[in-house]
């Protein structure tokens, strides 16, 4: 039998012990840096406007109130859950909103439509009921609303959707006493 020199046997024995010891201990992988997380969005404050109410005055009409606040008559009727829109009374309190009804029901968001007739149209668009007329006597350019007594007696030169658009184009409001003075 061949014998190994003592130093070589000591080295081999040490290696066997190291391998056995290494195999018996659990392998721990090196610690990796944490995966970066996207930043948490900071909540932003949202502005919730106070509700706007209008108290019906003598001579008010739904058309006039709708024109004043830039909403449709249908929206005022729906928001205020009016069973009979023709039964407005002086002192009635109307909510002016296009999102929430007086009972708290949220209405669907309307799809915005372009505002036609800013400069006046020769044919009326749906919802554009303001007639622009020229006085036969002196050529005064006036506009009339559906509630005006001459509305159905005069042909429109142009149509507008909003009083402001008619005024911006130099038309003045018709009254039973003639055109209203410029403000």
Burial of 31 (0-12, 13-18, 19+ CB in 10 A): exposed
Q: How confident is the model over 24-35, as a mean pLDDT?
A: 62
Share of the chain above pLDDT 70, in %: 66
What's CA 129's distance to the chain center, in Å? 25
- For the chain, domains (ranges, CATH) are 52-96 (3.10.350.10), 130-179 (no CATH)
Which pair of structure tokens corresponds to residue 100? 């929430």
- For residue 99, the model assigns a pLDDT of 78
Which residues, listed in sequence order, are joined to residue 130 by a DSSP beta bridge? Answer: 160
Residue 108 tokens read as 């669907």
Read off the pLDDT of each residue in 73-77 and give the average, rounded to a whole number: 88
Q: Please give the share of the chain, as a percent, with pLDDT higher than 90.
A: 12
At residue 172, does pLDDT exceed 50? Answer: yes
Neighbour tally for 176: CB within 10 Å:
7
Mean pLDDT of the 171-182 span: 76
Please choose, from the candidates 95, 96, 97, 92, the residue with its C-alpha nearest in 3D space to the C-alpha of residue 56. 92
Q: Where does the chain have alpha helices with state H? A: 6-24, 62-69, 73-79, 163-168
Work out the average pLDDT over 84-89: 88
pLDDT of 27 over the 70 cut: no
Q: Phi and psi (nearest 5°) for 65?
A: -65, -45
pLDDT of 111: 57
């Amino acid at each position: 039998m061949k014998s190994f020199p003592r130093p070589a046997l000591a080295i081999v024995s040490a290696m066997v012990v190291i391998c056995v010891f290494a195999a018996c201990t659990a392998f721990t992988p090196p610690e990796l840096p944490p995966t970066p997380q996207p930043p948490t969005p900071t909540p932003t404050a949202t502005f919730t406007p106070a509700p706007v109410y209008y108290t019906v005055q003598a001579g008010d009409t739904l058309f006039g109130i709708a024109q004043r606040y830039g909403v449709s008559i249908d929206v005022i009727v729906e928001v205020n859950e009016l069973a009979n829109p023709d039964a407005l009374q002086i002192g009635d309190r109307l909510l002016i909103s296009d999102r929430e009804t007086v009972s708290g029901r949220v209405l669907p968001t309307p799809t915005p439509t372009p505002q036609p007739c800013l400069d006046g149209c020769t044919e009326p668009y749906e919802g554009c009921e303001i007639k622009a007329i020229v006085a036969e006597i002196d050529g005064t350019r006036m506009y009339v609303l559906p509630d005006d007594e001459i509305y159905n007696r005069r042909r429109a030169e142009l149509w507008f959707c909003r009083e402001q658009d008619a005024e911006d184009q130099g038309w003045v409001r018709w009254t039973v006493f003639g055109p209203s003075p410029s403000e």
